[in-house]
């Protein structure tokens, strides 16, 4: 059992940067890095985070990998935030009121996510005796806070995208939905590790497998033609129903924009 688990870990650890490289090459070949600059930047930084442990022969459960992860992850968070905002702007490009209000809402969500993180992390903090484990535990509390905030953002975008059956370029829909799944795998991994650090190897294998699947999906679906081809997100509805849904969203966006103007 242990041998097969380590074998899967090593295979995925080697496969992930290869898939990222292929996707990056595809994005640049199709000239999509101009359309999705933060996506390309995120992939590049994420690839470095996966390649360095391989070059230094780190395993997921090693102390060296844990320290490297702690040092490198803040950069990933920063780029990830930019990426999620990029998705937000792409999906809600025609709804300026909602898009601008979301930036204000994020400040509120940040406070909520801190409260949730502290409440869920306190039982784990009490169980730790001291030493370097305390540092890692506090670090994972901070990571959970940021993860929850970003999950709220992604969930909001996906809800609007699917609820209102938005018609957008195929690339935008595949990018948005794919990254929601990609980040959710990371979020589950981070939550499990913060509560049960001894499960780091198993959770890394599971989350990396999902992430690799997303990388393959993007490589197969994102292309130059996907910018010109528009598709509707969510379950199929009639054109009349889609127009009604879009009108409601437009009214909501205009209403929010008027409120913000009055506030200014």
- What does residue 231 show for φ and ψ, rounded to 5 degrees? -130, 160
**Tokens, residue 204:** 């890394």
Average pLDDT over residues 22-49: 95
Q: In the chain, pLDDT over 70 holds for what percent of residues?
A: 77
DSSP class of residue 92 equals: T
User: Residue 196's pLDDT is what?
Assistant: 74
Q: Characterise 238 by phi-psi region: left (phi > 0), alpha (psi -120 to 50), beta (else).
A: beta
Cα separation, 46 vs 73, whole angstroms = 9
What whole-number distance in Å separates Cα of residue 44 and Cα of residue 136? 26
pLDDT at 51 over 50: yes
pLDDT attached to residue 145: 75
Q: What is the mean pLDDT of residues 255-260?
A: 78
Q: What is the mean pLDDT of residues 71-75?
A: 77
Q: How confident is the model at residue 54 (pLDDT cuts 50, 70, 90)?
A: confident
Picking from 150, 206, 205, 213, the residue whose alpha carbon sits closest to that of residue 183 is 150
The average pLDDT across 35-52 equals 93
Stated pTM of the model: 0.80
> Averaging pLDDT over each range in 34-43, 50-59, 155-164, which range is the top one?
34-43
Q: What is the rounded distance in angstroms from the CA atom of residue 21 to the CA atom of residue 27?
A: 10
Averaged pLDDT, 15-41 = 95
Sign of the dihedral defined by the CA atoms of residues 170, 176, 177, 178, in that order = positive
Structure tokens at 111: 């406070």
Q: Is residue 8 scored above 90 in pLDDT?
A: no
Which residue has tokens 């209102």?
Answer: 164
């Amino acid at each position: 059992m242990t041998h097969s688990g380590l074998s899967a870990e090593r295979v995925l650890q080697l496969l992930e940067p290869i898939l990222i490289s292929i996707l990056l090459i595809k994005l640049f070949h199709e000239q999509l890095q101009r359309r999705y600059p933060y996506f390309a930047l995120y992939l590049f930084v994420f690839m470095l985070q996966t390649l360095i442990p391989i070059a230094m022969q780190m395993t997921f459960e090693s102390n060296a990998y844990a320290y490297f992860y702690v040092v490198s992850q803040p950069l990933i968070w920063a780029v990830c935030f930019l990426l999620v905002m990029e998705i937000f702007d792409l999906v809600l490009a025609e709804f300026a009121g909602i898009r601008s209000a979301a930036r204000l809402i994020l400040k509120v969500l940040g406070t909520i996510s801190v409260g949730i993180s502290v409440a869920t992390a306190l039982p784990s903090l009490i169980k730790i005796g001291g030493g370097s484990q305390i540092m890692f535990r506090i670090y994972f509390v901070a990571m959970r806070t940021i993860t929850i905030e970003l999950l709220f953002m992604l969930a909001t975008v996906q809800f609007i995208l699917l609820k209102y059956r938005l018609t957008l370029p195929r690339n935008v829909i595949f990018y948005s939905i794919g990254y929601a799944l990609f980040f959710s795998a990371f979020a589950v991994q981070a939550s499990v590790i913060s509560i049960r650090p001894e499960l780091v190897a198993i959770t890394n294998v599971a989350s990396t497998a999902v992430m690799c699947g997303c990388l393959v999906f993007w490589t197969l679906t994102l292309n130059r033609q996907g910018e010109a081809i528009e598709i509707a997100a969510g379950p199929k509805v009639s054109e009349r129903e889609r127009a009604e849904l879009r009108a409601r969203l437009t009214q909501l966006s205009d209403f929010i924009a008027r409120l913000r103007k009055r506030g200014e």
